[in-house]
């Protein structure tokens, strides 16, 4: 099994940590360090890592500088340029309520994504990153907005390559 740890540069690790915990409906806890924190799911899966912009922690620490060139300064590029933080959640309606309490406006209001057939919405986090929240689909189909039909009645599922190397539908 493999996991991705997405790390984003933030101006305030503790503030961003609290913001994402609120968005995901997690109990409020402090980040592990002043300059770095991991948002972790209930099963221990790392959802997102928050890294203080710059090379060294703001407070004295015995940990060495990190030397992550892309996280040195938000002035080198706009935070989130080329990045979409896309989270699938199993409590979409509650996540929507929590998100409305965190921001004054959405980048995209809740809608049905015609490609995934799931509900989603998008907002900006405190550092300007574009965050999309998408409903986990139920086995055998997507979640629908009230009054909306699915765009297709074809079965959906993952694809994998056949022995001939061509994608094959797996329902």
Residue 41 placed within a domain: yes
Q: What was the pLDDT predicted at 50?
A: 95
Residue 158 placed within a domain: no
Residue 142 placed within a domain: yes
The string of pLDDT tens digits covering residues 139-155 is 445 444 444 444 443 44
Structurally, the chain folds into a number of domains equal to 1
Residue 170 placed within a domain: no
Residue 15 placed within a domain: yes
Give the least confident one: 8-12, 92-96, 134-138. Answer: 134-138
CATH code, domain with 21: 3.10.180.10
Strand positions, DSSP E, the chain: 7-10, 36-40, 46-52, 85-89, 108-113, 118-124, 130-135, 158-161, 167-170
Q: Which residue has the higher pLDDT, 126 or 169?
A: 126
Residue 140 placed within a domain: yes
* Residue 7 predicted with pLDDT over 50: yes
Nearest by Cα to 33 from 72, 5, 4, 64: 64
- Entry pTM: 0.71
Structural domain containing residue 105: 7-59+78-146
Q: What was the pLDDT predicted at 53?
A: 84
The string of pLDDT tens digits covering residues 34-79 is 999 999 999 999 999 999 887 655 555 555 555 555 666 666 767 6
Tokens coding 148: 């909306």
Residue 152 placed within a domain: no
Helix (H, G, I), strand (E, B) or coil at 36: strand
Percent over 70 (pLDDT), the chain:
64
Residue 101 placed within a domain: yes
């Amino acid at each position: 099994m493999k996991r991705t740890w997405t790390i984003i540069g933030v101006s305030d690790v503790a503030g961003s940590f609290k913001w994402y915990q609120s968005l995901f409906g997690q109990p409020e806890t402090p980040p592990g360090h002043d300059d770095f924190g991991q948002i972790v799911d209930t099963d221990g899966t790392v959802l997102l890592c928050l890294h203080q912009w710059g090379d060294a922690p703001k407070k004295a620490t015995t940990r060495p500088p990190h030397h992550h060139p892309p996280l040195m300064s938000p002035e080198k590029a706009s935070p989130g340029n080329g990045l979409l933080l896309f989270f699938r959640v199993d409590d979409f309606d509650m996540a929507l309520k929590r998100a409305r309490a965190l921001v004054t406006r959405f980048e995209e209001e809740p809608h049905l994504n015609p490609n995934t057939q799931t509900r989603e919405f998008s907002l900006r986090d405190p550092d300007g990153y574009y965050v999309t929240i998408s409903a986990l689909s139920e086995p055998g189909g997507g979640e629908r907005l009230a009054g909306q039909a699915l765009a297709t009645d074809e079965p959906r599922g993952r694809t994998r390559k056949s022995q001939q190397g061509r994608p094959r539908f797996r329902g």
